[in-house]
Each structure stands twice: as C-alpha cells, then as structure tokens.
C-alpha cells in the first residue's frame, strides 16, 4: 500500500492549529483566552461557561474593564426566557457580582430554569451581533467537548492589532477568528502516519492498524487495513466514528457496536478493505455531551432534538480527516459502506471518488428502535 506524504500545510497552517489546540486546552481547564478579529472588530476575553470559576470571572472583569455576558444557544435562551422568537445564539448580560455556580446553571440545559429564581427575570436577552467572534468563541467550546456556551467580555481599550501583544503582557493565550475558521482544514492537512502494527482481529485476522495524528498533537485516528487492498480498483471502505458505549460496552441504545463488528466481518469475508476509526465520539460532540443527550432522550427528546437542546447540530461531524487518511493510504476510489448520504457527499467534495454505496444495516432492538427511526426520518439515513 502506498505511503503518501501529508499535504504541506505551511507555517500559517501550523500556527493556526497550534493556537486553536492550545485555546481548547485552556478552555477545558477553566482558563481565559483572548479572541480577536480583524482591525475593525472587537477583542473578547472568552471563558467556557461550563468551566466558569470565581478566579477566572474576577480576572475577566479586571482585565476587560467591562461586565461579562454569557452566550447561550437558542433552545437554552428560549427555556430561560419563555420567548419563542430567539436567534441561534443570544447573549445575556450578567449582573454585577454573579457567581460562577450561577453561570454554570445558566449554561446547563439540564438545570431547570425555574431554579434560577429572581435572576431569571433580570436576564436580558440580546442577539449575538453579526460577525465572527461570537460564533468562533462558541465553536472553541464545542471543540473542547464542553457545552456550547461561553462567557465573554469585550476588552474596551484594546484594538485587534494590539491584541496579541496585550495578551502576552497579561499572561493570556491569544488567537484570531481566522485561526478558528481555518482549524479543521489545517488539522486535516497536517495529519501524519505515526505508527503501524499487525493486529489480528477476530473478524479479520490479516489486519494491521495505522495510527494518524496531527503534527502538533490533537486527536488520533486509526485506519484498520484488512488484507492487501488493490489500489487500482475501488476499495471497500467503512468510516466509523468511535463510540465507547456501543463499541466497547455493548450499549443497546445505538447500533454502533453492530456496525463496527459487522463492517470488519464483511471486509474480512471479502478479503480486503479499510475501516477508518475516527475520533468523533457522539457524532463529534464528545462522550460527556453524548451522555447528556441520553439524559434528554430519557426525558422525551429524540436524538436530533437532544443534540439541538444542548446547542449542537444534529451531526457535528466533518470528514476532511477521513479523506486525508485515504489520500495518504493511496486510496482514490471507494465502495463506501454506509447508510448516511452525508458521508458520500463530504468524501466526494474532498476529492474521493465514491463509486458505490454498500448498504450497512443491522436488526434493531427494543432500546434503539426509536433512534433508528429518527435517523431515517430526520437525518436522511437510508435503511
């Protein structure tokens, strides 16, 4: 099998990936980051609402010189205010002296709004202004696998051109909205093969695993190569998003475990093929948020509504990384095992020739019947 080198991303791609990866880590640990736009845009201090703490909130007020606000997704703003006419993201000005626990409660869709007490009436909802900084700050929180809600404060006396210097002097990490917007592509372009090992599998003994990792760290993805695929012909390929509960624990709430083992068995029976095991837990919202979505489903939501109540899209996955892995493996055309038309569309848009869709269907059970019906009726899956 070919050993194609990663695409050259250049210094700009490296800088973009490093800045965003560091910002993600900082938000996950409850720290502040400085986000700026072009010369005519604002400069914001950003804190993940889920990780709000008293030290960070106090530092935000002191450094910004302005009171913070919390950006929440549409469904959470609607639940708090009772207003059905809500934009995709809204900003709530926080009263002076608000504590961190209250910020976390405002952001948490599983916390009943009635328990906010009198504060609920004092929260003023305003649409997040058109521009790049609001959406970029929320996207960082998503990539950090946290709730898509952030606390922001405008740094009133700092211009975008001065942001990096000011952040360095203040001991903060800075990045631009452009860094966020270019991150997914930069990360995929800088993917490298880092390890290969022969790993016989129960359903495909003649297998080896190739591990991929972005050049500056980040999430690792695996290619399970069965046999010796003929790269001059379409290769049987399965894209599988990791699912700890289904793949490892045998959860009956989804069909992921069946799809993983069924794909390996089918590839093994045909003699060759590739399964890409992608680090996209919970349709790329992360394990903790997936468990939160399960809680909402137990309260009556379906899988799509639960994701949207948390503030995510029904499916957050992007398959640029999968396309780059296939390119580095020398795969140009595929027979794709999938029920999801979006996978076909995204791979084709990324330059992979999908010549055939191979159906990948397994029996339902009493726990996942509703889940599978929703995938068919609301996300276009083909069963």
* Residues forming beta bridges with residue 210, ordered by sequence position: 196, 223
Positive/negative CA dihedral, 282, 283, 286, 290: negative
Say whether 28 counts as a known binding-site residue: no
120 is catalytic: no
**Token digits of residue 144:** 């950090």
50's CB contacts (< 8 A; 6+ apart) are 104, 107, 108, 141, 146, 147, 149
DSSP three-state, residue 370: helix
> Binding site annotation covers 82?
no
| Distances in whole angstroms, Cα of residue 362 to Cα of each of 188, 249, 365 | 31, 18, 10
- Alpha-carbon distance of 123 to 81, in angstroms, equals 8
Residue tagged active-site, from 76, 302, 315, 327: 315
Q: Please tell me whether 242 is known to bind a ligand.
A: yes
Pick the catalytic residue from 261, 317, 353, 373: 317
Rounded-to-integer distance, Cα 104 and Cα 115, Å: 13
* Residue 254 annotated as binding site: yes
Is 38 annotated as ligand-binding?
no
Residue 243, marked binder: yes
76 annotated among ligand-binding-site residues: no
- Does 241 count as an annotated binding residue? yes
Report the DSSP beta bridge partners of residue 44: 35, 154
137 phi, psi to nearest 5 deg: -65, -40
Take residue 214 and report the two structure tokens written for it: 């972005």
Asked if residue 190 belongs to a known ligand binding site, the reply is no
Catalytic, 315? Answer yes
Q: How far apart are CA 11 and CA 23, in angstroms?
A: 18
Bind-site residues for Zn(2+): 243, 254, 256
Annotated binding site for GTP: 238-242, 259, 281-283, 303, 338, 343
Residues that constitute the known binding site: 238-243, 254, 256, 259, 281-283, 303, 338, 343
Cite the active site residues.
315, 317
């Amino acid at each position: 099998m070919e050993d194609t080198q990663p695409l050259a991303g250049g210094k700009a791609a490296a800088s973009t990936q490093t800045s965003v990866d560091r910002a993600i880590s900082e938000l996950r640990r409850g720290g502040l980051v400085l986000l700026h736009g072009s010369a005519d845009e604002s400069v914001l201090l950003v804190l993940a609402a889920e990780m709000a703490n008293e030290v960070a909130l106090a530092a935000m007020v002191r450094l910004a010189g302005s009171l913070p606000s919390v950006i929440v997704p549409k469904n959470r703003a609607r639940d708090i205010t009772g207003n059905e006419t809500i934009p995709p993201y809204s900003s709530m000005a926080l009263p002076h002296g608000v504590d961190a626990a209250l910020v976390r409660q405002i952001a948490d869709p599983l916390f009943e709004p009635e328990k906010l007490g009198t504060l609920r009436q004092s929260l003023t909802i305003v649409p997040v202004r058109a521009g790049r900084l609001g959406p970029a700050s929320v996207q960082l929180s998503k990539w950090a696998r946290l709730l898509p809600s952030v606390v922001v404060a405008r740094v009133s006396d700092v211009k975008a051109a001065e942001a990096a210097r000011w952040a360095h002097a203040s001991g903060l990490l800075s990045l631009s909205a452009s860094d966020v917007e270019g991150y997914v592509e930069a990360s995929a372009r800088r993917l490298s093969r880092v390890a290969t090992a022969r790993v016989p599998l129960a359903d495909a003994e003649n297998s080896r695993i190739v591990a991929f990792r972005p050049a500056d760290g980040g999430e690792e993805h695996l290619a399970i190569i069965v046999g010796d695929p003929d790269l001059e012909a379409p290769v049987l390929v399965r894209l599988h998003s990791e699912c700890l509960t289904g793949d490892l624990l045998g959860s009956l709430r989804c069909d992921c475990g069946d799809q993983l083992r069924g794909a390996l068995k089918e590839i093994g029976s045909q003699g060759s093929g590739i399964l890409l095991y992608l680090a996209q837990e919970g349709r790329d919202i992360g394990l903790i948020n997936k468990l939160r979505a399960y809680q909402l489903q137990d309260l009556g939501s379906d899988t799509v509504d639960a994701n949207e109540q948390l503030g995510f899209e029904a499916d957050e996955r992007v398959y640029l990384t999968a396309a780059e892995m296939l390119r580095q493996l020398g795969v140009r055309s595929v027979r794709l095992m999938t029920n999801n038309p979006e996978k076909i569309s995204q791979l084709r848009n990324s330059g992979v020739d999908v010549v055939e869709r191979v159906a990948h269907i397994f029996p339902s059970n009493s726990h996942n019947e509703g889940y599978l019906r929703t995938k068919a009726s609301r996300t276009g899956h083909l069963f």
